[in-house]
């Protein structure tokens, strides 16, 4: 694009904006003068419409629904109490027996009123409801689980950078 065509385009755009601005303004004659005093008739009708100063909006009151009571049996409440006692130590492994025959071994990461979260891998968490437990959770040494986690973390730390470098080289 040459300088003359650029200058022509610039002048054309400036003219477009100028004409738009000039058309947007109203002539003074169109805006009439406003009356300084209201007649009695207009004053009476305006009083019936609305107050001169609007009332400030009232804050909305949120109504909380009642929390349903937990439907835990006394046995499940005892499971919850044991989990709360065991969950104080963040590095204590616990053993949970589930009704389907599965066994979970891991560390408690979160405790709720109806369930708790068990971290049983290097990156996997499972939410276990107290109603899903077959027996009371118990603390275990979990030496084998600790060794497996150390091996997995070591593999992750060693092989992940090697994989990233191999991808970047290609």
| Token representation of residue 8 | 């022509």
The tally of domains found in the chain comes to 1
Q: Which domain range does residue 136 map to?
A: 75-155
Q: Is residue 11 part of a domain?
A: no
Q: Is residue 124 part of a domain?
A: yes
Q: Is residue 9 part of a domain?
A: no
CA-wise closest residue to 82 among 130, 136, 132, 118: 136
> Which pLDDT score is estimated for 58?
79
Q: What is the pLDDT of residues 68-123, one digit of tens each?
A: 656 788 888 899 999 999 988 888 899 999 988 899 889 999 999 889 999 988 88
Q: Is residue 57 part of a domain?
A: no
Point out which residues pair with 94 in neighbouring strands.
106, 139
Q: Is residue 115 part of a domain?
A: yes
Q: What is the pLDDT of residues 32-78, one digit of tens each?
A: 666 566 677 776 776 666 555 666 777 888 777 766 656 788 888 89
Q: What is the mean pLDDT of residues 19-29?
A: 62
Higher pLDDT, 149 or 39: 149
Res. 21: pLDDT tops 70: no
Check if the beta carbon of residue 87 is closer than 8 Å to that of residue 80.
no
Split at pLDDT 50, 70, 90, the class of 24 is: low
Task: Report the run of H or E that residue 138 belongs to, with start and end.
Answer: strand 138-140
> Which pLDDT score is estimated for 22?
65
Q: Is residue 104 part of a domain?
A: yes
Q: Domain containing 83 — which CATH number? A: 2.30.30.100
Q: What is the mean pLDDT of residues 124-146?
A: 89
Q: Is residue 1 part of a domain?
A: no
Split at pLDDT 50, 70, 90, the class of 6 is: confident
Give the integer Cα–Cα distance in Å for 114 and 69. 11
Q: Is residue 97 part of a domain?
A: yes
CA-wise closest residue to 79 among 102, 91, 103, 95: 95
């Amino acid at each position: 694009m040459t300088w003359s065509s650029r200058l022509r385009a610039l002048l054309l755009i400036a003219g477009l904006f100028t004409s738009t601005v000039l058309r947007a303004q109203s002539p003074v004659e169109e805006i009439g003068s406003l009356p300084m005093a209201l007649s009695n008739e207009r004053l009476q009708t305006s009083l019936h419409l609305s107050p001169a100063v609007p009332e400030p909006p009232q804050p909305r009151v949120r109504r909380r629904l009642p929390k349903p009571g937990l439907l835990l049996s006394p046995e499940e409440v005892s499971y919850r109490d044991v989990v709360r006692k065991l969950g104080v130590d963040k590095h204590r492994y616990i053993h949970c027996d589930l009704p389907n025959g599965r066994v979970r071994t891991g560390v408690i990461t979160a405790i709720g009123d109806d369930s708790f979260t068990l971290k049983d891998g290097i990156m996997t968490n499972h939410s276990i409801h107290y109603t899903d437990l077959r027996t009371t959770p118990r603390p275990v040494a979990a030496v084998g689980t600790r060794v497996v986690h150390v091996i997995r973390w070591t593999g992750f730390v060693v092989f992940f950078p090697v994989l990233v470098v191999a991808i970047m080289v290609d």
